[in-house]
Structures are given as C-alpha cells and as structure tokens.
C-alpha cells in the first residue's frame, strides 16, 4: 500500500516536471544543437558522463559481467546434470551489451558532447568492428560448445542491406562459437524477439536466455510505464538468475523507453527535463 501511494506520488511529480518543461520544448526546437545539449560547458555537464565512465572504467562493471556468466555456467551445468528432455539443450543470447561491449561508441558520443543515444552515429560506428567481447562471454559460450549445447544469437539491428553480414562477421571476428546462419537471427524492423524464441524452442529445450534488456527474455517488458515494468519484474523474479541471466547496462535499453515512451529519445531540453525528473523520482525533499 505504501509502495502504491509512493509510486502514484512519484508519477505525479514526474508528470508535473514534464509539464513544467513545456516551454523548454519550444526553446529546444529553435536553439542550435550545441546550445541545447551543452551550453558552453565543454561537455562537462553531459548527462551521460557517469554511466559511460562507469562502463569504461569500473572494475565493478566487469565484475557484474563475470558474475552473470559465472552464474550462467553454474545453471547450464546443473541443467546438463539433470537433463530429462529428449530435445537438445540450447542457450539464447542477445548480442549488443551482452556479448559485445560498445565502449568506444559511447566514449565517442561523450567526446562529441552528445548526451543521448544517436542512431546515425551508431550505424556509422558499428561496421568498424570496434566492439570488445563482454568479460566472461567468450569463455561461457566456448563452454557451451564443449558441452554440446547450441548457442543462438538473436539481435535487433538495422544498418541497411548489410545488417546481417555485419552481425555475422562480428561473431566470427571475435571467435564466438556457432557463428553461422543457422544460429544467428537479426531483426531489422522490430525489437520483438519472440518469433525467434518460439522457433528455437520448437526443436530445443532453451535452458538460458542471456541479455542486457528484460525484453531479451519476454516481450512483456516492452511497455512505456516504469511501475508496470517493475511489477512485471516482481512477477518474474524467480526466473532472474535461473533461466534469465541479465548483464548490466546503464546507457540504453527499454528502461529508457519506460521513462521517455521512446527507446531512442531525441536530444532536446524537454527530454533532459524528463530524465532529471526520472532521476529524482524518489528524491529527499531536504527537510
Ligand atoms: Mg542488448
């Protein structure tokens, strides 16, 4: 009950903050981009700095990745030891920020004083193959291969006609096992991965789903409501760390959509106000 009241209050505050930013929406539309995003501070007030610095430097970030893959290995070995299904076992994984780390992309945005995900820069950056393997990922997927468990890669990307080629080439380049067309699915038009999950489950027992986004596990999480997403997670909490292995990602994902109603919101002052309201959702009032 207390949580419900508190959430309702937070929602009202978020809405009030958003409404207060109404004048800013018009200002942002007419202001030059550099003024809207970074008014003469040399990028020092960039909203991305903390999260990108964390992903670039924190041993804790790398530790969480190892923790996820150590847990995945434990779960896989348990599944193998208690296997009853006649179907072969399989693992389904996302790609970006799950097995491939995009540190240089985010670092580039920060250097350019950009503070929101930028699709055009992403599409330009991605074919350069500047990703690095997420810590623990290669060891885990090689372990799957050694134990005869197939790995299926399912990603949502769109870099035009060569999208699939780029994705497959990156799996090969970083020497991930099962890097072939029967184990890689790329959705160009949607972030809904359910059809791939269903198709794989017809011929395999999927023991693990690995991703940095709850949408990598269930489409239910594609909702633009913070509280709804949180309540869905409470419903599914027993599956976290058992069937679902989650990697940390503080820069992008459908948690962004829950705040803005858009997974890739525009870099406007109106959206910066929404971000601030989200970040101060349960703020102490200082009294
Ligand atoms: Mg991802």
**Average pLDDT estimate for 99-116:** 97
CA of 96 to the centre of ligand 1 (A): 4
The CA 214 to ligand 1 mean position distance, Å, reads 10
Q: What angle do CA 29, 31, 35 make, to 5 degrees?
A: 130
CB within 8 A of 213, min separation 6: which ones?
94, 221, 249, 253, 254, 255
pLDDT at 134: 98
Q: How far apart are CA 158 and CA 119, in angstroms?
A: 10
pLDDT of residue 85: 79
CA of 112 to the centre of ligand 1 (A): 23
Between CA 109 and CA 49 the distance in angstroms is: 10
| 44 CA distance to ligand 1 middle (Å) | 27
- Ligand 1 centroid–CA 171 distance in Å is 14
The pLDDT tens digits for 18-56 are 334 333 333 333 333 444 455 567 899 999 999 999 999
Q: How far is the CA of 39 from the centre of ligand 1 (A)?
A: 31
Write the secondary structure of 173-217 as one string of H (helix), E (strand) and C (coil): HCCCCCCCCCCEEEECCCCCCHHHHHHHHHHCEEEEEEECCHHHC
Name the token pair of 5: 């009241």
Give residue 132's pLDDT: 96
Q: Do 73 and 210 touch, CB atoms closer than 8 A?
A: no
Q: In the Cβ-directed half-sphere of 29, how many Cα atoms lie within 13 Å? A: 5
Distance 83 CA to ligand 1 centre (A): 29
Q: Tell whether the model's pLDDT for residue 8 goes beyond 90.
A: no
Question: How far out from the chain centre does Cα 30 lie?
Answer: 32
Q: Give the pLDDT of residue 19.
A: 37
Q: How far is the CA of 45 from the centre of ligand 1 (A)?
A: 26
**In terms of pLDDT, which residue wins out, 188 or 5?**
188
| Whole-prediction pTM | 0.86
In angstroms, what is the span from residue 264 Cα to ligand 1's centroid? 14
Question: What's the CA-to-centroid distance between 37 and ligand 1, angstroms?
Answer: 26
Q: What distance in angstroms lies between residue 26's CA and the mean position of ligand 1's atoms?
A: 33
CA of 62 to the centre of ligand 1 (A): 16
Q: Which of 251, 281, 274 has its CA nearest to residue 114? A: 251
38 C-alpha to ligand 1 centroid (Å): 28
CA of 97 to the centre of ligand 1 (A): 5
Please give the CATH topology (third level) of the domain spanning 48-262.
Answer: Rossmann fold (3.40.50)
The CA 7 to ligand 1 mean position distance, Å, reads 28
């Amino acid at each position: 009950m207390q949580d419900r009241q508190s959430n309702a209050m937070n929602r009202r505050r978020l809405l009030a903050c958003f409404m207060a930013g109404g004048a800013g929406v018009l200002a942002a539309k007419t202001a030059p981009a550099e003024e809207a995003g970074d008014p003469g501070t040399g990028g020092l007030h960039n909203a991305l700095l903390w999260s990108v610095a964390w992903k670039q430097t924190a041993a804790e970030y790398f530790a969480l990745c190892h923790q996820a893959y150590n847990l995945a290995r434990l779960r896989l070995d348990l599944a193998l030891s208690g296997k009853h299904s006649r179907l072969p076992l399989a693992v389904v994984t996302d790609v970006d920020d799950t097995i491939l780390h995009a540190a240089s992309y985010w670092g580039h945005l920060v250097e350019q004083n950009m503070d929101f995900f930028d699709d055009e820069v992403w599409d330009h950056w991605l074919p350069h193959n500047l990703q690095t393997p997420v810590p623990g990922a290669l060891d885990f997927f090689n372990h799957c291969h050694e134990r005869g468990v197939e790995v299926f890669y399912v990603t949502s990307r769109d870099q035009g006609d060569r999208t699939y080629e780029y994705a497959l080439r990156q799996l090969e380049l970083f020497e991930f096992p099962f890097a072939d067309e029967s184990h890689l699915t790329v959705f160009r038009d949607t972030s809904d991965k359910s059809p791939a999950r269903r198709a794989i489950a017809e011929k395999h027992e999927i023991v693990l789903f690995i991703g940095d986004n709850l949408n990598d596990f269930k489409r239910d999480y594609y909702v633009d409501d913070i509280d709804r997403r949180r309540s869905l997670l409470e419903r599914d909490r027993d599956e976290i760390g058992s069937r679902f292995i989650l990697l940390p990602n503080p820069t992008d994902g459908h948690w962004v959509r829950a705040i803005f109603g858009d997974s890739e919101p525009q870099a406007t002052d109106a959206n910066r106000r929404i971000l601030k309201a989200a970040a101060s959702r349960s703020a102490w009032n200082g009294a």
